[in-house]
Amino acid sequence: MPKQNDKKQNNQSVQDLIKVLNEDLAREYQAIIAYIVYSNVLRGAKWMQIAAELKLHAAEELQHALILADQIDYLGGMPTATPKEVKLSEKAEEMLRFDLDNETETIRNYRTRVKQAEALGHYALAEQLRKIIVQEQEHQHDLATALGIDVPNVLPQGA
Ligand SMILES: [Fe+2]
Ligand SMILES: [Fe+2]
């Protein structure tokens, strides 16, 4: 049986995990909103294909948000109701660039989250996060391709 102190420490770790998962959830809300808005304001033949792609991204981000909210609830937390801020622009390239930067940031965070979840013995959560990462990498790839640039490196946090 864990000692009282271990238990306290573990509780604090779970609270910390809930806090960062809520930041992930806020980023998923941001992504849903950005993809809905951007897919509708991208104009011109050049962007038609990626605009359609962004609508698919929006639906996938919604699935991610549902998974995260579920996991936060399971850990005993309250899912946040507040998205991170969505930047707007008149320029198509700029909007796609915002999305790309957010996806890169999201992947970086989820990679850290997998390690944190495993360190606490939450292996099912780690598996869910890995599946989400695969889709985020596809999003990142779609955006980089539309912008005609290389897929950015995802450097570890603090690097
Ligand atoms: Fe997502
Ligand atoms: Fe994404």
Residue 145 CB neighbour total at 10 angstroms: 14
From ligand 1's centre to the CA of 3, what distance in Å? 38
pLDDT of residue 108: 98
From ligand 2's centre to the CA of 29, what distance in Å? 10
pLDDT of residue 2: 56
Query: How many CA atoms lie less than 13 Å away from 99 in the CB half-sphere?
Result: 37
Which amino acid makes up residue 3?
K
Q: Which two tokens stand for residue 136?
A: 């985020």
From ligand 2's centre to the CA of 77, what distance in Å? 23
- Single pTM value for the model: 0.93
List of domains in the chain: 4-147 (1.20.1260.10)
Report the run of H or E that residue 86 belongs to, with start and end. Answer: none
Query: Cα separation of 32 and 63, whole Å?
Result: 10
Identify the residue whose tokens are 């290389």. 150
From ligand 2's centre to the CA of 120, what distance in Å? 25
Q: Are 26 and 86 in contact (CB under 8 A)?
A: no
From ligand 1's centre to the CA of 45, what distance in Å? 27
From ligand 1's centre to the CA of 72, what distance in Å? 15
Q: Are 88 and 37 in contact (CB under 8 A)?
A: yes
Which amino acid makes up residue 26?
A
From ligand 1's centre to the CA of 44, what distance in Å? 26
- Using CA atoms, how far residue 69 sits from 21, 74, 141, in Å, is 9, 9, 26
Identify the residue whose tokens are 């770790």. 13
Q: Which two tokens stand for residue 45?
A: 């033949």
From ligand 1's centre to the CA of 5, what distance in Å? 36
Identify the residue whose tokens are 């102190």. 5
User: Block means of pLDDT (10 residues each) for the chain, length 159 residues?
Assistant: 68 96 98 97 92 97 98 97 96 96 98 97 97 98 96 81
